[in-house]
Amino acid sequence: MVQGGKRPNLLGKATPKIGVGPQFVENLDRDRGACAVPGCTPDFTMGATAQGFGQDPWSQDLLRDVDRLRQGRAPRELYTSSTRAGMMVWEAYARSDAGPVREHNEDSHLIDVDNGLFIVADGMGGHAFGEVASRLATDIVHRTLVGERDPEETRLQRPGDEPDPADVVRERMRYAMNQASLLIRKESEQRPERRGMGTTLVVLALDGEQAHLAHVGDSRAYLWRRGRLQRLTRDHTVVQQEVDAGRLTPELARLLPHKHILTQSVGFHGPVEPDTSTRMVDGGDVFILCSDGLTDPMDDVALQAVLHEVPSDQIANVLVEEALRRGTEDNVTVVAVFARD
Count of helix runs (H) and strand runs (E) in the chain: 9, 15
Could you tell me which CATH number the domain at 78-340 has?
A: 3.60.40.10
Render pLDDT for 167-200 as a digit per residue (tens, 0 to 9). Answer: 999 999 999 999 999 999 988 888 877 888 999 9
Beta-sheet strands, E only, within 100-256 = 107-112, 117-124, 198-199, 201-207, 210-216, 220-225, 228-231
Tell me what percent of the chain is helix, strand and coil, each rounded to the nearest 5. 35, 30, 40
Residue 193 identity:
E
Determine the 3-state secondary structure of 85 from DSSP: strand
The residues with which 95 forms a beta bridge, in sequence order, are: 78, 334
Determine the 3-state secondary structure of 134 from DSSP: helix
The residues with which 237 forms a beta bridge, in sequence order, are: 262
Q: What is the pLDDT along the chain (341 residues), one digit of tens a residue?
A: 333 333 322 223 333 444 444 444 444 444 334 333 333 333 333 333 233 444 544 445 445 554 544 454 444 345 556 666 556 789 999 999 999 998 889 999 999 999 999 999 999 876 568 999 999 999 999 999 997 565 665 554 555 567 788 999 999 999 999 999 999 998 888 887 788 899 999 999 999 899 999 999 999 999 999 999 999 999 999 999 898 889 988 888 888 878 889 999 999 878 999 999 999 999 999 999 999 999 999 999 999 999 999 999 999 999 999 999 999 999 999 999 999 87
Query: pTM for this one?
Result: 0.75
Render pLDDT for 96-111 as a digit per residue (tens, 0 to 9). Answer: 999 999 888 999 999 9
CB 19 within 8 A of CB 76: yes
The structural domains of the chain, with segments of one domain joined by +, span 20-75, 78-340
